[in-house]
Structure formats: C-alpha cells, structure tokens
Amino acid sequence: MKLPASRWVHKKGSYSLDDALKKVRSQADFARAGAIGAFIGVVRGVDEVQGKVVGLALEAYTEKAEEVLDEIRRDLLTRRGIVDVQLHHLIGDFAPGEDLVYVIVAGAHREEVFQTLREAVERYKKQVPIFKKETLATGESYWVYEKSKRGSQTRKMRPSDLPEQSRKEL
C-alpha cells in the first residue's frame, strides 16, 4: 500500500528551504506579513559528550508526525498577527552540516514572528515522533532518545522499543 504524499515530513532531497519559503509567500493573505522568520536545523558534527559525529539517520512515525506537525501549525496560526507557519522535517541519512528541518513563520510584526518561531521549534522538538540514530567517528551508532539540556546524558533506544505501528513505517 502506497502512503499518501506527506505535507510536513519529506525524504532528504525532495524538499528545500526555497520550497518552504515559496509556500509561505504563496499564501492568500501573505500581504498581511511584515516579517518572515526561519529556523534551519542542521546536523551537528560534534556531540559534546560522545565525540565526532559522522552521520545521522532520521526516521519518522510519519502518520503521527504529520498529525502533530499539523496540530502545532494550526494552533500557532491562531496567534494574533501570525499569517503562516510551515514546519518541514526531512528524513533519511545525513552528513554533518546538512539541513534537517525548516520552520518558517510569517507574521505582521517581528516580535510576533520571533516568539512564534521559538515556540514552534520547541514544540516540534518535544512532540514530533522523529527518531535519530547517530554514528560516531569511532564507528559506534546508537538511537538518540533524550539528552539533558547540558548534554551530559544520552539515553539510547532501538526501533524495537517503538510501538508496532511505528516500526512498520520505518
């Protein structure tokens, strides 16, 4: 069974920052916008605790990720002065420095845009079922589950730890 095209989760190489910006600018009420803010998440080449990172694989429970990203977007669009919110996450195999996520917010004023952009990033990081597998220069690979704010602890997980439906989509 072929899954429907994703709105917010894309295979690496199939969506770009330019695509996201074009989508924002094409909104019917874009004329109300006085500012566009963007967050571009990239692969870090060094993990402060684990060492040099040579690769990152991202997988998603796509159906749920789409649902959560859309829910975040709809909620943020209710904010005063916000014209559009775009949250696009890429999945696949990535090298250090490559783009992983695009969060774009258009709004009437920069203050509203900055505040909403920050919230959009924090919410997607906490709520969206995207799974990361880091590969270090040592050859060790592990699934990243959670890191403390200081980066002092990393919990590891395996895809088998995921719900059955999630594993089918990986």
What pLDDT is attached to residue 157? 47
Residue 160 is predicted with a pLDDT of 54
Looking at residue 155, its pLDDT comes to 41
pTM of structure: 0.83
The reported pLDDT for the residue numbered 70 is 96
Cross-strand partners of 51: 47
pLDDT of residue 163: 52
> What domains appear along the chain, each with residue ranges and CATH number?
9-169 (3.90.1170.40)
What pLDDT does 52 receive? 94
Instruction: Please tell me the distance from the alpha carbon of residue 87 to that of residue 22, in angstroms, as a whole number.
Output: 13
Query: Taking the chain (170 residues) in consecutive chunks of 10 residues, what is each chunk's mean pLDDT?
Result: 70 96 96 98 89 94 95 97 97 97 98 98 95 93 63 46 51
Residue 59 gets the label, from left (phi > 0), alpha (psi -120 to 50) or beta, of beta
Q: How far is CA 20 from CA 12, 23, 43, 107, 117, in A?
A: 14, 5, 19, 15, 14
